[in-house]
Amino acid sequence: MPSVEIMRPSSSAVSEPAADVVVTGIGVVSPAGADPPAWLGALDQGTPLARDTSPEGAPRPIRAAGIESFNLRDYGAFRGTVGISRTAQLAVAATALAQREAATASPIPRGDRVGVVLATAFGNLESMVRFDRGARREGHRFVDPMLFPNTVVNAAAGHVSILFGYSALNSTVSSGSAAGLQAIAYAVDALRRGDADLIFAGGAEELSYWTWLGERELREPAAPGGGAGPAPREEQVVFPGEGAAVLALERAADARARGARALAVVAAYGESFTGSGCSDQEAVAVRTSALQRALLGSARDPQDIDCVWSGARSIAWMKSNEGPVLRAVFGRGSVRVALVAPVMGDWRGASSVLQAAAAVGFLASRHIPRTELLPGQPETEPGWSGGGGMAPRTVMIYSFDSLGAGAALILSLPIEDVKEDRRA
């Protein structure tokens, strides 16, 4: 049976270098589309994709980045998909795209040597709400049995394995916004142990009115005595999104043996956990350790990082909440910081996989998207700046969850591509 991993890493966790694992395929289904030029172009342009939309179960339109006209049939002829959740459908579609790219040169390994690790914060919240509402209103004897399978948090990962016939391993990581990077690290460890020859590691999250409502309540607390609370600060403004992102990961030797192109190398991973009751200073120190451990594991210095992909919800949020961490790691030197949430919306458990997929896409295209220059950016340079023609070779992806989990991943160009760039 599929397993569920509720990740609560210790603050001392650090992975060994994982340079023997490479990315051979990426699949993204996003509000900007599923074709790489479309969603990478949207991130490069930096225009928010929020619009008025009505997700299932919403009594009124909400401002969000939803995927319009999504149809799983556009991604393959799948049998047995009646009744599966939107989250699962998004995960299946993104996996199909990642598998297609990974199999460009030659077929991927047989199904019993292929695994799935999926990150999600809520699973399928809409099914959970509908099932709970039915139980409360009609009693437990009259709940809809078709809804129950979708209420299980690892249902989406299970559907991916079943529909594609992958049976090496199946796991779900649920730890908030850091879950995606932890899912990638989980997959890397499994590959290094020999548990599988190829693993599709990713994340999926559907747009839910209930998630939007809960986040709005957190951002807009009621005023004393009732009524509307204070307007949210700029750094708290965020709009929800939905989508799925999946990476095809395999050992470098296996990829070479079957002639697959390595898009990026997983250089190292670091993680941390901020317990409750920590002071702001302690929280910065613990979060900083995740980035420093990733640098240590990759044997790289801060100046070797060409671009940092932040998990922050907005530019203002990144500056106020993550600025101290970036200054602690990079000193006063400038580093380009790219974000996905201000464009694609907050994908919650899947956001950091989208960050990683974007990092791979821009590495492969030798391009840096619109970025912030931090921490040494002058105050006279607000807003996003163009990445220009700089060709990145090493990038860092990080994400900090409000519940305390923190993770950082370093990806680099394959050495063959670096040598080719030097010859050019």
Task: Give how far Cα 198 sits from Cα of 22, 23, 111, 116, 254, Å.
Answer: 10, 10, 9, 9, 9
pLDDT of the residue at 418: 58
Res. 9 pLDDT band, cuts 50 70 90: very low
pLDDT digits (tens, 9 = 90+) for 57-101: 778 888 899 998 899 999 998 988 888 889 999 999 999 999 999
More confident: 17 or 367: 367
pLDDT digits (tens, 9 = 90+) for 302-312: 999 999 999 98
Mean per-residue pLDDT of the chain = 83
Domain assignment of residue 422, yes or no: no
Q: What is the CATH number of the domain that holds 338?
A: 3.40.47.10
Task: Give how far Cα 267 sits from Cα of 38, 168, 311, 343, 402, Å.
Answer: 27, 24, 19, 27, 26
352 shares its domain with 388: yes
Domain assignment of residue 132, yes or no: yes
- Dig out the tokens for 85 from the structure: 């959740």
pLDDT of the residue at 229: 40
User: Of 3, 201, 198, 23, nearest to 110 (Cα)?
Assistant: 198
Q: Is the pLDDT of residue 417 over 80?
A: no
pLDDT digits (tens, 9 = 90+) for 380-404: 444 445 555 568 899 999 998 877 8
147 shares its domain with 66: yes
pLDDT digits (tens, 9 = 90+) for 314-341: 777 777 778 889 999 998 777 889 999 9
Q: At what angle do helices 351-364 and 179-193 cross, to 10 degrees?
A: 70
Number of domains forming the structure of the chain:
2
243 shares its domain with 198: yes
Task: Give how far Cα 73 sits from Cα of 36, 77, 78, 170, 384, Å.
Answer: 19, 6, 7, 24, 37
Question: What is the DSSP secondary structure assignment for residue 366, as one 8-state letter?
Answer: T
Contacts 24+ apart (CB under 8 A), 378-386: 383/315, 384/46, 384/315
User: Of 379, 412, 367, 407, nearest to 173 (Cα)?
Assistant: 407
How many Cβ atoms from other residues are within 10 Å of residue 386's Cβ?
12
pLDDT of the residue at 367: 87
Domain assignment of residue 420, yes or no: no
Contact (CB, 8 A) for 408 and 397: yes
Res. 107 pLDDT band, cuts 50 70 90: very high
187 shares its domain with 323: no
pLDDT of the residue at 225: 42
Q: Is the pLDDT of residue 48 over 80?
A: yes
Contact (CB, 8 A) for 322 and 400: yes
Res. 17 pLDDT band, cuts 50 70 90: very low
pLDDT digits (tens, 9 = 90+) for 172-207: 999 888 999 999 999 999 999 999 999 999 999 999
The residue assigned the tokens 């020859």 is 197
Q: Which domain holds residue 28?
A: 3-257
Q: Is the pLDDT of residue 165 over 70?
A: yes
Domain assignment of residue 262, yes or no: no
